[in-house]
Amino acid sequence: MKKSIFAIAFALVASSAMADEGMMSTDSKYRLGVDFGIPYFLTADGNKVNDRGNMNLGVDGRYFVTENMNVGGRFSYDLEDSNGFRQIAVAPGVQYHWMPGETFVPYVRGDLPVIIQGAANSVAQDDKFDFGISAGAGVAWNLGNTIGVENLSIRYDFNLGYTFGISDAVPVLGLEFAKVGVDYRF
């Protein structure tokens, strides 16, 4: 009995010490977050554009396959109405994280964005569909280590994306260099 009590006490002290150091691995498999992004268009239909796109609001959901890798997707919606054209998109993808459990967690990401409505097009219609590919990197700040709210983080990432231009939609090369979000892992 004394050995069991000693073992439990040791486990509690050790886990408390590891939590204070930010080294404890979480058993949480899901992450949900909201973010705000500002895209920047470099080219459209092969022509140089260099113009800011509409700001968007996104909801990002992830499932952690391992402590370092997750799969999931982002749903985004335009916040600005550009002549009645609101872009709605979903982007399934994968992320790989280095140093999970630390205060700052760098990561890389790859996505396959699908524009459901509002793709850039040559016929001035807002119901155009398109899809593409994007890759990027970022860093998440684990606020749980700073303010004591476990599994809460702020993230910043950027990516380079290309949509292929299906039918009347035009191919677009873009950069999203200002995407900031808040995530909670549960």
Residues whose CB is less than 8 angstroms from the CB of residue 38 and which lie 6 or more positions away in sequence, other chains included: 52, 53, 55, 56, 176, 177, 178, 179
- CATH number of the CATH domain containing 47: 2.40.160.20
> What is the tally of structural domains in the chain?
1
Determine, yes or no, domain membership for 20. Answer: no
Range of the domain at 69: 27-185
Q: Which residue has the tokens 């796109």?
A: 53
- Return d(Cα 93, Cα 109) in angstroms, integer: 7
Q: Is residue 21 in a domain?
A: no
- Does this model's pTM top 0.85? My answer is no
Residue 3 domain-assigned (yes or no): no
In a domain, 4, yes or no: no
The tokens 């895209």 sit on which residue? 39
**3-state DSSP call for residue 68?**
coil
Is residue 18 situated within a structural domain? Answer: no
DSSP E strand stretches across the chain: 30-44, 47-52, 56-64, 69-78, 88-97, 104-111, 114-117, 130-142, 152-163, 172-185
Residue 6 is assigned to a structural domain of this protein: no
pLDDT score for 85: 66
- Structure confidence at residue 1 (pLDDT): 43
Count Cβ atoms within 10 A of the Cβ of residue 13 and give its class: 0-12 exposed, 13-18 middle, 19 or more buried.
exposed
CA nearest to 116, candidates 92, 90, 134: 90
Residue 66 lies in a domain: yes
Residue 1, in any domain of the structure: no
Cα–chain-centroid distance for residue 109? 8
Each residue's pLDDT tens digit, 79-131: 987 666 688 999 999 999 999 989 899 999 999 999 998 888 877 777 789 99
pLDDT tens for the chain, 186 residues long, are 444 434 444 443 333 333 444 433 467 899 999 999 999 999 999 999 999 988 999 999 999 999 999 999 999 999 987 666 688 999 999 999 999 989 899 999 999 999 998 888 877 777 789 999 999 999 999 988 778 888 999 999 999 999 999 988 999 999 998 899 999 999
